Amino acid sequence: MNAVSNEITGGQLITDFKVVVADAEALLMATASQGGEKLAVVRAKAEESLRVAKARMAQAQAALMVKTKEAAQATDVYVHANPWQAIGVAAGFGLAVGWILGRR
């Protein structure tokens, strides 16, 4: 799973999104002035870009789910091993949030 998370970065997702948007704009411009074979080529390119972006987003979502589950399991283990420390941290966090909200 590290290979997936190393291959997919926020920058790559943004780049893929920009490519999809550019292809969609090209498709709109092509449909406004022309039709036929050129339109089919632009449409195919836009569909391929969208397919690639969706696949990368699905991989990123799967990697995020794995990391989230690992973090939840690590937290569960820590809380079971150190219950009083966990209670102290939770109480401190609750106190800080209450103090911040009370100042509003």
Locus of tokens 């590290």: 2
- Give the distance from CA 33 to its chain's centroid: 36
Locus of tokens 């909200």: 101
The pTM of the full predicted model, rounded to 2 decimals, is 0.52
What ranges in 1-104 are assigned the alpha helix state H?
2-7, 10-33, 37-81, 83-102
pLDDT digit string, tens, across residues 3-23: 455 556 666 776 777 787 777
Q: What is the DSSP-derived secondary structure letter of residue 103?
A: T
Residue 76, number of CB atoms within 10 A of its CB: 10
pLDDT digit string, tens, across residues 21-50: 777 777 766 666 666 777 777 777 777 877
How many Cα atoms occupy the beta-carbon half-sphere of 29 within 13 Å? Answer: 8
Give domain limits for the chain.
2-102
Model confidence at 94, in pLDDT bands (50, 70, 90)? very high
